Structure formats: C-alpha cells, structure tokens
Amino acid sequence: MRARDRDQWKLSCDGVEGIGLLDAYERRHHHLDGRDDELFPAHFIKVTISIALRGYKKYRRIKNVQRTRHGIALPVLRHRVVECVAEAVAVFLHQAETTSDHGGTFVFGPTSIQLRDLYLLELHRHGKTLVPVLGYVPPSPRLELGPPPDTGGFTLDWEIAFGFAQLQ
C-alpha cells in the first residue's frame, strides 16, 4: 500500500482529544477542530459501515456521504464523516443483538454502555477503508460536585470499517 493510500486523523474539540459521539450524533460539533477540513475528494459517494464486536451480530449498512450544491459534488468534510460514524454507532447500539458467544464484556442499553459514553478519538484510512478508534469512559456513579474522577478511559477492542464507493 502506498503512503498516499494511508492517512490518520486525530480528532479533538477546542484542543481536547476526542469528540463525544452523542454530540456528533446530535450535530453539536461546532467545536470540532478542523471541522471543515476536506478529508476526501468529491467523487467519494457512499461508505459501507460494518461494525463487528465479539458476542454481537455484525452490523453492516451503506451510507451516502456525498453532498451537492447546484448539482456540483462537494468534497467530504471532517464533520460529515464524524456524523456518519456517530449515526452508525447509534443504530448499532439500538439494535445490537447478542450471539451465543457473548461473554458479557460489553453490554449496551439504558443501564449499560450508551452513545454518551463513547468518544471518537481518531480515524485511520487504509486504502478505501476507514477504521475509527473509539474510547469508552464509564459514567461516574457519584453525584458529588467537584472534578470528575480519573476513569482510566480505554479503547474498545472493536472496529468499524468503512468501504468507499467511487464513480467510475
């Protein structure tokens, strides 16, 4: 693979690493650093979103990322890709079904891992595939005021792959 076929983007909001997926899902990404940076040229039309997590049924969908203005295709911007990742994870969390090999490591739902607990830290591109690096910070059970406790956020051991379709 040639060097120009690989990229890595670190995501941050106002200089702080990562963007909350709930904020991205609700399109509150105006503080995203470099939000209007062009990540892909205008000929990238669709992304194939695939989420594979041990113990859950695989999630796979095709998403249109291209926008047009007056019939002219626009480049794909950073905030648009972040929105696509957030939407994919939200749908996955909503319809996640366990399989027989589910060990209970990750549980999703109202009393477990939710979109508000996940953060998009980086995007890695390998050819026409994007692999986001997600972080999980468990909610604090304490209701006291003061600085938040050190939760020791960690990266989940799963990935989301995006395959891009191009015009021929």
Only one residue has tokens 């739902």, namely 109
What's the whole-number average pLDDT of the chain? 76
Q: Are 40 and 78 in contact (CB under 8 A)?
A: no
The domain ranges of the chain are 3-134+153-166
Instruction: Note the pLDDT tens digit of each residue in 93-136.
Output: 888 888 888 877 778 766 788 889 999 998 887 666 677 788 88
pLDDT tens digits along 57-96: 888 877 777 788 898 888 888 898 899 889 988 988 888 8
Kindly give the residue spans of alpha helices, DSSP state H, lying in the chain: 21-25, 78-95
Region 138-166 average pLDDT: 52
Whole-angstrom Cα Rg for the chain: 17
- CA gap 39, 76 in Å, rounded: 6
More confidently predicted of 162 and 106: 106
pLDDT in tens, 46-57: 777 777 778 888
Count of CA atoms in the C-beta half-sphere (13 A) of 125: 18
pTM of the shown model: 0.74
**Which amino acid would we find at residue 146?**
G
Sequential DSSP letters for 82-113: HHHHHHHHHHHHHH--B-TT--SSS-BSTTSB
